[in-house]
Amino acid sequence: MPFGIEPLRRLENARELDASIRLDESAAAGINKAHEAHVDGPFGGKAGCCATRNGITQRVFPRLSGLLPWKDSSGNERPRQLFCFKKEIGMRRSIVPNRSQLVALTLGLALSAGASTLALAQARQVPEARQQITLSFAPVVQKTAPSVVNVYGARVERRPQNPFMDDPFFRRFFGDGGFGLPREQVQRSLGSGVIVDAGAGLVVTNNHVIEGMTEVKVALADKREYEATILLRDPRTDLAVLKLKGAKDLAAIELGDSDALQIGDLVLAIGNPFGVGQTVTQGIVSALARTQVGVGDAQSFIQTDAAINPGNSGGALVDMQGRLTGINTAIFSKSGGSVGIGFAIPSAMVRVVVDSAKTGATTVRRAWFGARLQALTQDVADGLGLDRPAGSVVASVVDSGPAAEGGLKRSDVILAIDGVGVDDPESFGYRFATRPIGSTTQLTVLRGGKRITVPVKLMPAPETRPREPVKVAGRSPFTGLTVLNLSPAVAEELSIDLSTEGVVVGNIEEGSPAARVGFQKGDLILAINGERINASREIELATRERKRSWEVTISRGGQTVTSTFGG
């Protein structure tokens, strides 16, 4: 220890540090090596001296004369007993380390009524080598891991029928329970989830984790298990919200701001990969606003190299403050395991889905834009004088829609939304979808070579036309379809362009003729055997009679095709 430390008395001057230190013999010898040119008289005429000991340079101030001798500049011995560190109010005592060693000296003094107690001193050395540095994510894990749960359940699937079982001989041989008959088979599903509301018992997970489940159970990190009901499923974002039955003393995670993430930020992925139990992996944010991942259509994913494996779906991606920044959803892999390319849904989108569930809605209410956008090409960008093809071109505007009401026009180029740049229609759609209904968003638009601001008031898509769902029966390639009249609300739900013609496929019965010929949800049926279809009821008339062949014209993904099927 550099100095013998013992509390002696409380200094009367409030402008001085409340501590005094008795010097031992070795300490006194060290003080004698000080800059004695600054000392006058019996160590008390001036402000003090600078004493160097064990690599620490300090100002030393005398308070009393006493027993320990010292030598002044003339070589005369002077008595000295005590010194203290002088401290001006509002200032901190400074310790200047030399270059060879860094030592922090902490002095503490505890006073009790009538007597002083022993003061504490502690010296810590700053690590000089990498081997001496200890890093740990344990505090973050301890804060967040109790909020990450295991989601599991069962779904019933039907095995395909063996065509040989249509023959009576095979049926007699194998019996009605033969290997070829359709049989219900229970499939187990396993994934992860995150508690986002402890009071309401809400858990957010991926839609693909619980899709088709007939029962859902949730196991907490402390081994408690609860049944759960599905409050809301949103295939567009691949998110779902569950409610735990009778759960108490839950630990909810704080929702962070995914928009504040930067490439290179440290993140942790917490989940239940391969069903082995809760697992934590670490990595960085590799990229932001990733699209074309193939999950949902409101795409702006966080990319990370934190290991995400099967079973991690629905788990948490957390920042170093222990806040939820994303829901782990997908990976790119040829082997099925992690190769360092994982994707998470940003917490900004998670917040929208959770807020919708809290209102009691079974679907997510989204704002309707009322315009169709196209990506900005390099040629168009060059013609507009832009340095790069970043933005979205307005291809069409729906009359009386929010975009039209705000003044947006065809051929406008949208560059930013509320000051945040949007490089393509996908990033615009994500930013727009995270804005609350009823608010007004400001679009930065390039029109005629000038940048202008277009305000757009966000409102839900209207049901301008009754849906009138019709399920097609009979024996035709359309049997098993449920078709709807198209409206802005239906187009928004199915993520298709609004059209004034045709009826839209809202659902397809599994194993039906319509499913076998290849119809897809969201297909727009424009004509059957040359007759235009503009209302859902018209498809009943068009498919009532049996025909040897059927010609159908559909629109899918912006392309119109005509196909012929046998009767």
The residues annotated with a catalytic role in the active site are: 208, 238, 313
Instruction: Tell me how crowded residue 336 is: count the other CB atoms within 10 A of its CB.
Output: 9
Phi, psi of 382 (to 5 degrees): -65, -40
Phi, psi of 345 (to 5 degrees): -75, 130
Q: Within the chain, what is the greatest distance between any pair of CA atoms?
A: 126
Sign for the pseudo-dihedral over CA of 520, 526, 530, 534: positive
Selection from 126, 73, 132 nearest residue 104 by Cα: 126
Selection from 68, 63, 64, 47 nearest residue 4 by Cα: 68
Q: How far apart are CA 109 and CA 7, in angstroms?
A: 7
Packed helices 425-433 and 347-358: angle between N→C axes, nearest 10 degrees: 40
Name the token pair of 304.
Answer: 């990370």
Q: How many secondary structure helices (H) and strands (E) does the chain include? A: 11, 37
- Structure-token match 């849906």, residue found: 467
Name the token pair of 307.
Answer: 């290991």
Q: Which residues of 134-155 are buried (b: 16+ CB within 10 A; e: fewer)?
A: eeeeeebbebbbbbbbbbbbeb
**Residue 510: what residue type?**
E
Name the token pair of 529.
Answer: 């055997």
Selection from 40, 32, 28, 33 nearest residue 4 by Cα: 28
Instruction: Tell me how crowded residue 553 is: count the other CB atoms within 10 A of its CB.
Output: 18
Selection from 200, 333, 184, 328 nearest residue 269 by Cα: 328
Selection from 56, 77, 53, 74 nearest residue 65 by Cα: 77
| Contact indicator for 220, 253 with CB cutoff of 8 Å | no
Q: How far apart are CA 522 and CA 504, in angstroms?
A: 6
**Residue 14: what residue type?**
A
DSSP 161: P
CA dihedral 200, 206, 210, 216 (to 10 degrees): -30
DSSP 320: T
